[in-house]
Amino acid sequence: MAKEQIMADLQKAIETWDFKLADSATKAAIDAKIPVGEIIGDGLGKGMEVIGKRFDAAEIYLPQVVAASKAMEVALKILEPLMTAGAGALKGTVVFGTVEGDIHEIGKNVCCAMLRGAGYNV
């Protein structure tokens, strides 16, 4: 599968909160040797960007944002071993925190994943 199609599938998985597509597209990205930072930033992150814009425009509501973040979590669980495997070249450490269950926990989790993908210890 072409890299462009894989990245489009990653974005679509988030935009449509499709857990199965998130799983298969993430595995396809790994098989295609796409760097984790690109998978997170250019695939999953772009999907969350669209979700954020749609939420701001009141086209979708909080349950859909939560569903999109859950689809992203499916992908991130697959990517996590690869994020920690490259820990030798960490750029630094970032500490994040929210009250458990707080609505901002969703954004925190997305930010943490993107920072890990960019080479930070979070």
- pTM for the structure as a whole: 0.79
Measuring CA to CA, how many Å separate 67 from each of 1, 10, 87, 90?
A: 26, 15, 30, 31
Task: Please name the fold of domain 3-117.
Answer: 1.10.1240
The torsion angles phi and psi of 121, rounded to 5 degrees, stand at -85, 120
pLDDT digits (tens, 9 = 90+) for 98-109: 777 776 777 777
Map out the domains of the chain as residue ranges: 3-117
Mean pLDDT, rounded, for 18-44: 94
